[in-house]
Each structure stands twice: as C-alpha cells, then as structure tokens.
Amino acid sequence: MTHSQLTQAILEKQSFLCIGLDVDLDKIPPHLLDEEDPIFAFNKAIIDATHHLAVAYKPNTAFYESYGLKGWHALERTINYLNKCHPEIFTIADAKRGDIGNTSSRYAKAFFDEMGFDSVTVAPYMGRDSVEPFLAFENKHTILLALTSNGGAYDFQTQQQEGEPLFQKVIETAMTYAHSERLMFVVGATKDSYLAQVRAIAPEAFLLVPGVGAQGGDLAAVCQHGMNHTVGLLVNSSRGIIYASNGHDFAQAAAQQAQILQQSMQAILVSRGMV
C-alpha cells in the first residue's frame, strides 16, 4: 500500500484508527478457548466487527511468539485473512526488530515477503545498516521507534545527544538513509508535548501513535501537535478496544469502543475541514 492510498483510506473512512491485536489467552472470552484456534477466532471476530471503523491493524508479535508454533500459525492466519478479505487495511507487524545488515534483511523478508505485512516496526539502536534493509522494499513501510509511550523512554530517548534529544537525532539521521521516504515514526501519545517537535522535523511522515486509552494518552492533544495537512497520523488503541468485554458480546463491545474513537476522529477531521 502506498502513502497516498493510506491517506485516501483515512479520508474515506473518516478514521485514522489502528487497532492493536495483542491477543492474551487469559483475557479473551473464555468460550473462545474451545475453538481449534482461539487466537485467530478472536482476531477474526474483532476484525469483522471493526474493519469499517479502522484503517490499520497492528498485531504485536510478542503475544504470538509467547504461544510458540500455535501463536505463529495464528499470526499467519490473521495476516492472510486481512490481506485476502480486507485488502484496503494497512497492516503493521509490531515486531521492533533490528540487526546487522544481512540479518535485518532476513527479518524484512520474513515480514514483508513471507507474511505480506505492509509495514514493520524497527528499533533504531543499531543504526543505518540495520534499518536500510527494511527500507529497500518498495511499497512497504518501516516504522522506526523514535519516542515510545513507556516510562523507560526517558532513560535514553529524551536525553541530549550532540545538543538534541536522542529521539530527534534518530529521526534526523534516519531521514538521511536510502529510501527514507518509506519511513514512518513511532511517537507515544503519552509524550504529546514532544509531538510538535517531531512534526517539525518530519513534516510529511506518518506517525504511529500508541498510548491513547489504557496508557493515558489524549486524542485531541495528539491531533493538535501531530496532525499534518494530509492527516499523517495512525492512532493505535489495543486493550481499550479488544478487551472491552470478555463475554459473548466481545466483538460488539469492541466495535462500540472503536466507534467512540472513530467519531472523535471524524469530529476533528470535520472541524479542520479535511473531510
């Protein structure tokens, strides 16, 4: 999917919602545990109930890996289902990978070619040759961790490096990498005061913003500081949507929560004259 196709989907759906598929077998409705593949059954029901309200889905690979082979199988079924039945959806493998060059190429191949994700999250610590193998894929997107939503972000990311916070240096340096037009950046909603700084140095890039909802981030503040002239935002909510209920009504409850966020997004887009 191209940058402009994603923007078009946002304007059509009047939504820049990304739903995080962080499936925990201890939290999903107990009746699903009788299914042959409870993780996929849960994801399919959530997707079927919410796909008209969201433009992106983001499975975090940790949740799947923790269930071993059956987890990976469920992840493959989920991405295959999205690609086959909802090709207009932007898919994000939240994997936070990064390694030396020939090894990063392996990860890129795994997520882009083998599994068919549109994008993957990548950690910047190892620098240029750990990121460029991901950027080499045409019509795919590399979502670099810049400023994450967790408390540990203050350990290194906000500390000064050569006169600017590390997250800012990461963005500026990454924008010199080959095919940097395929970059997006993760900026946590819990750090909305920094969003304007990020937007100033990356005016055109999509920002993936986690942390709205369960982690306490505020949608209006995120849009105030982070939105650009083509929206340029994907705002993620995971637990607040997918675990809205753990009864038989879980998918409808998820849709209700997704709709609340979508309507807030629509109101913001309307107030800015963007739709």
Q: Which residues are catalytic?
A: 96
Q: Which two tokens stand for residue 23?
A: 């499936």
Shortest CA distance to 97 belongs to which of 44, 133, 150, 138? 133
Residue 113 DSSP one-character state: I
From residue 66, alpha-carbon distances to 25, 35, 38, 110, 263 in Å are 11, 19, 14, 18, 34
Residue 214 CA to residue 244 CA, distance in Å, equals 11
How many C-beta atoms lie closer than 10 Å to residue 69's C-beta?
Answer: 7
Q: Between β-strands 160-161 and 56-58, what pairing exists: parallel, antiparallel or unpaired? A: unpaired
The binding track of 120-159 with respect to its own copies, each residue x by CB under 8 A or -, is: ---xxxxxxxxx-------------x--xxxxxxxxxx-x
Q: What tokens appear for 78 in the block?
A: 């989920």
Q: How many CB atoms lie within 10 A of CB 48?
A: 14
Smallest gap from residue 259 Cβ to its own copies (A): 26
Q: Is 275 helix (H, G, I), strand (E, B) or coil?
A: coil
**Interface residue with its own copies, options 99, 175, 201, 264 (CB under 8 A):** 99
Query: Binding its own copies by CB under 8 A: which of 76, 116, 136, 230?
Result: 76
81 makes contact with its own copies (CB under 8 A):
no
- The region of 41-49, 70-78, 84-92, 216-224 touching its own copies under the rule CB under 8 A is 70-78
Q: What is the CA radius of gyration of the chain?
A: 18
Exactly one of 12, 33, 35, 65 binds its own copies (CB under 8 A); that residue is 65
Least Å from the CB of residue 61 to its own copies? 9
Q: Which of 96, 179, 230, 252 binds its own copies (CB under 8 A)?
A: 96
CB of 269 to its own copies, least distance (A): 28
Subset of 244-273 contacting its own copies (CB under 8 A): none
Binding site for its own copies (CB under 8 A): 22, 60, 62-63, 65-69, 72-73, 76, 96-101, 103-104, 106-107, 109-110, 114-115, 123-131, 145, 148-157, 159-162, 166, 169-170, 173
